[in-house]
Amino acid sequence: MFALPLFQLSTHHRATAPHLLSETIATAGLLLVIFALSKNGGEQKIAGSVASYIGAAYFFTSSTSFANPAICVGRMLSNTFAGIAPSSVPAFIGAEIIGGVLAVLFVKFLFPEKTINA
């Protein structure tokens, strides 16, 4: 589509403290949006809300909001602006795990009467 090779590895190194912090925040925020909607009768709005959040987070985070380990792997195979070098992927997945843990803690604080079904 853009005259690029089908398979390529990204060369954009992103394993810096600001990138990892923004990835942690993006992941926690995404999970909070999903949980808040699912627990307050907004299940039908989750798909559109996730798309809107990720679209916005692409611009409001320095990491361009991967917020998902599968996206890290996919973007590793694209040497475009939103790509991520393979050496940065483990740190990003770690930041996403931290974001997930923070989201669970925030959910327990914000919704004490509701439980997370695991």
| Residues 28 and 102: beta-carbon distance below 8 Å | yes
- Does 4 reside within a domain? no
Mean pLDDT of 15-38: 93
| Residues 99 and 25: beta-carbon distance below 8 Å | yes
pTM of structure = 0.85
pLDDT band at 114 (very low <50, low <70, confident <90, very high): low
Give the pLDDT score at 61.
86
Query: By residue range, what is the domain housing residue 27?
Result: 17-110
Cα distance between residue 109 and residue 42, in whole Å: 20
- Does 116 reside within a domain? no
pLDDT band at 67 (very low <50, low <70, confident <90, very high): confident
Cα distance between residue 30 and residue 106, in whole Å: 12
- Does 59 reside within a domain? yes
CA within 13 Å, CB half, 40:
11
Give the pLDDT score at 117.
62
Cα distance between residue 74 and residue 90, in whole Å: 13
User: How many structural domains comprise the chain?
Assistant: 1
- Does 2 reside within a domain? no
93 contacts: CB under 8 Å, gap ≥ 6? 69, 72
